Amino acid sequence: MFPALGHFVYRFRWPIIGAWIAILAASIVFTLNFSVPLAGASLTTPDMESEQALQALRKALNLSPTSIDVVFTDSKLTVDDASYRQVVEQTAARIKAMPDVQDITSFYSTGAPQLVSKDRHTTYLSVGLKTDPSDEGAFIDELNSNLEPGPPRAVVGGDMVLGNNMESVAKNDLIHAESFALPISLLVLLFIFGSVVAASLPVVMGGVTVAGTLAIIYLLARVTDVSVFSMNIVSMLGLGLGIDYSLLLVSRFREEMKREKDVERAVKTTISTAGKTIFFSGFIVFIGLSGLLFFPIMVFRSLAYGGMAVVVLSILAAVTLVPAALSVLGNRLNALTIRHVSHEDQLWRGISRFVTKYTVAILLVSLAIIGVLSWPVLGMRMGMSSSTSLPQSAEARQAADLLSQEFSPGEVSPVIVVLQSGGNVLSADNVAAGYALTKKLEADPRVERVEGMFNLDPRLTLQQYQALYANPSMAPPQLQAAMAGMSSQHLTMLTVVSKYGPMDQQTRQLVSDIRAMRPGGDLQVQVTGETATSIDVDSVLFSDFPLAIGVVFTVTFFVLLILLRSVIVPIKAALMTGFSILASLGVLVLIFQDGNLSNLLGFTTQGFIDSITPIMLFCILFGLSMDYEVFLLTRIKEAWDRTGDNTLAVREGVERTGRIITSAAAVMVVVTGAFAMTDLLQIKSIGMGAAVAILLDATVVRVLLVPSAMRLLGRVNWWAPLLAPARQPETAGKRVAGTRSFWSKWER
């Protein structure tokens, strides 16, 4: 297939280039003229307990589907000052007049002390909306225009503002990352190739894939929800794969031109070797990303759709556009040479001999390095990122920071306990059960405060509450208003304020303990809120994760089995890639959970790793890391088929691919590292994790660990019962002078 493809590409090189120019132009026009709002980063699904409880609350109590916080603060004025009150009330009146606003809760309308900070310098409005606005950005702009000029200063926050800020920051991050990655990649490629033309071709390829990537994302966003994260991560994949694949092709073409001196034969050989490698390695990246489809969450599915489409685009461009360009350029590929690059890999020849000579020591040292870097994974804590994932300049971050600084940790993200009954939720038995539950929660040392139907007035006894709810029309108007806001015929709610933050282990355990309670009567307990949602998300993610890992490993095994005709090598390849991913996660724990380098990288540690990060990194990095494994193993396999000597094959594989793997990894580290310097914390951590994994993969793993392991395994590497070899070794059974094996009986 690949030789025929090489002949086709060479023959129709100009039409192929013309077709890709048309695709590029269409992508640019489409991207510039059509903009579709991207979805946020919601991780919930309808079958989660927290989501079911939230929907039951909204239906029973007519709660707003969306709320916004308007936070007021001043260093001198307090809520008791007339000018402070005037600004807050005038702002509330102007916002209440907006057509999408359903209700507003404030300290001045309710007198609720929990709406005021302890020093009385800060308060906030809770603005409930009738529906989600069709244009969130326009709504937020209108709301900001209705803020009264201070003092006190007013800042708008809440989930809607958080999502809007995330989209804005993500788009800016993408521009900054690409504007950094492309020129730096060009400089790296200039150093690698020494020629302006040769270095420019991979960068052009990267630009084509990025333009196509953005068009794909916007097309997907027109038919399904696409997460704001997808734009950056998929673009990172497209840019990195586009440059890496074309770098491999250009390197192999230059090597073949030096040997063949004929452009057509060089193109055919390049596609038959490097093109085949790219096809299989790209297919493995595709498989890795498809693992995200096992999770019933929009963020993962949109990333899977976009990522898989971009991988296909990158492969198509690599096996058509780049060879077509090489067919046209021929020897002119080396034009505008600025430095002479020797193709004699003396350095890698020395490294290959060193690795195969001191095999056991190198294997042990490599495993020790991976082990040390992976160790912090044992202390990894999971959580769900919120406003702290944004830069401090973002509105939602400023509002959330004010609330967290001025109010108790659990005040703005309370635990919501939903009690439901098949009959009357306020029957005598249910009131007794709810009253006992409330008292139990109030006595819990982790709880700051409980608000609900069973402690509206602390002076009332259980019997008085039962009598009151037996005839609620006799209650005072103030109690009736409170009852209407917290209870319906079949449902009531308790607001439990923890003494700890929503992602703190104490609050998480509190939620788990409440869910395990059986209050009595016919009451059923469900819990919602930020903490409960985080627990539910973790449960969904990590219950499906083993299945995703198993499928990705299994499919990859069979792909490599077909490519390499070996049972052992695919297993070893998967294990080595797993080592790289574990080590990168360990580094992320040190940086993003423990806060090391936070000042240098410009972020505030949340004290945990976002729950989506390990899964995204596995599905992204499994394919990317396996890229370099395939580059190395296919070259070793070529040498093995030709010589039948395992030691010689390992040496030749390292010698011939060491420079290209290191070069490709250097470019990929630049690309992923550019995203590690962005502002959105989730993208920053994934970019950093990818950069660390690729760096380790191209140095410790592929240069030291893989060759030393293959050297020790000897002929066992190529054990493949029931599979005929692709090509009979030309020198099978012959000893190569000067080679000795740790296991002499398996050295071949």
Instruction: Quote the number of domains for the chain.
Output: 3
Cα end-to-end distance, the chain, whole Å: 31
Residue 39 confidence (pLDDT): 58
CATH number of the domain where residue 151 is located: 3.30.70
Backbone angles phi, psi at 374, to 5 degrees: -80, -20
Same domain assignment for residues 292 and 362? no
Integer CA distances (angstroms), 621 to 59, 187, 270, 339, 695, in order: 42, 25, 26, 34, 12
Specify if 406 maps to a domain: no
Residue 238 confidence (pLDDT): 83
Specify if 459 maps to a domain: no
Nearest CA among 311, 289, 309 for reference residue 300: 289
CATH number of the domain where residue 8 is located: 1.20.1640.10
What pTM value is reported for the model?
0.82
Answer for the pair 467, 517: CB distance below 8 angstroms, yes or no: no
Could you report the per-residue pLDDT of 654-694, keeping only the tens digit for each? 888 888 888 888 888 888 888 888 888 888 998 899 899 88
Same domain assignment for residues 100 and 226? no
Q: How far apart are CA 598 and CA 591, in angstroms?
A: 7
Q: How far apart are CA 53 and CA 115, in angstroms?
A: 24
Could you report the per-residue pLDDT of 109-139, keeping only the tens digit for each? 888 888 898 889 999 988 888 877 777 788 8
Domain that holds residue 100: 61-157
Same domain assignment for residues 148 and 254? no
Residue 344 confidence (pLDDT): 55
Specify if 274 maps to a domain: yes
Specify if 469 maps to a domain: no
Q: How far apart are CA 268 and CA 265, in angstroms?
A: 5
Specify if 42 maps to a domain: no
Residue 711 confidence (pLDDT): 87
Specify if 427 maps to a domain: no
Same domain assignment for residues 633 and 738? yes
Residue 740 confidence (pLDDT): 40
494 CB-near residues (< 8 Å, 6+ apart)? 416, 417, 419, 434, 437, 438, 441, 450, 451, 452, 453, 454
Residue 120 confidence (pLDDT): 92
Same domain assignment for residues 362 and 216? no
Q: Could you say which of 293, 316, 343 is where a domain stops?
A: 343
Following DSSP, what letter does each residue of 399-414 receive, concatenated?
A: HHHHHHHHS-TTTSS-
pLDDT, block means (10 residues), the chain with 748 residues: 83 91 85 60 80 89 80 91 92 89 87 87 88 79 85 88 84 84 85 84 83 79 75 81 86 82 86 86 87 84 84 90 90 77 70 86 91 92 83 88 84 89 90 92 92 86 88 74 81 91 90 92 90 90 87 87 84 86 92 88 86 87 79 84 86 83 85 87 89 87 85 84 54 41 40
Q: Could you say which of 324, 343, 362 is where a domain stops?
A: 343
Q: Could you say which of 157, 176, 195 is where a domain stops?
A: 157
Specify if 424 maps to a domain: no
